[in-house]
Amino acid sequence: LMAFAVAADYTRVAVLKIGDREDDHQLTLNGTTFVYHTASHRAVPNGATLCAEVDRMHARYFLELLNRLSSTQTPTGPLIDQGVTVWTNQVGSGNHSFQNVPWILAGSANGFLKTGTFIQASYQTNRMLNTLLQAAGVQADNFGDTSLSRGVVPELLA
């Protein structure tokens, strides 16, 4: 539905949020019932393994979305390259820190972003948000938490 809405120019932004901020949803995987947030703090047996399985499940959902965006053609090429599709979460290192928050970006935002790049960029949350805003045409370099660095992630710019 998200890919269709964007392809039909009904909207230019779609957000799919799985879980709440602290994700206290109860899940059952391979016969084990657990609360994701508790498992993320490793407060249940095999917490890391359970969280990794949830990550794999979410990766499959993300791949399906990317496949739909890639297979939808526009007059200027695949829909996936007309924008940027992002998979992230708030689980970095430690107790809800901004350190090592994972970001996966797919699409070049009409050539604004490099593709096929891996970047190790700790403490870049504000810069990532500013980069995504600029990719969408918003001139921003100071969005986000005032305690974190400003600007963009230059390694992502085409």
Predicted pLDDT at 67: 95
Predicted pLDDT at 120: 82
Predicted pLDDT at 98: 67
Residue whose token pair is 């609360």: 35
Above pLDDT 70, what percent of the chain? 91
* pLDDT surpassing 90 at residue 6: no
Strands (E), 7-157: 26-29, 32-35, 73-74, 77-78, 85-88, 103-106
Q: Between 20 and 132, where is the model more confident? A: 132
Count of residues in the chain = 158
- First-to-final CA distance of the chain: 29
| Distance between CA atoms of residues 106 and 62, nearest Å | 10
* pLDDT surpassing 90 at residue 51: no
* pLDDT surpassing 70 at residue 94: no
* pLDDT surpassing 70 at residue 34: yes
Paired sense of beta strands 77-78 and 73-74, if any: antiparallel
* pLDDT surpassing 90 at residue 19: no
Q: Which residues pair with 77 in a beta bridge?
A: 74
Q: pTM, whole model, 2 decimals?
A: 0.83
* pLDDT surpassing 80 at residue 95: no
* pLDDT tens-digit map of 60-92: 999 999 999 999 988 888 999 988 999 887 766
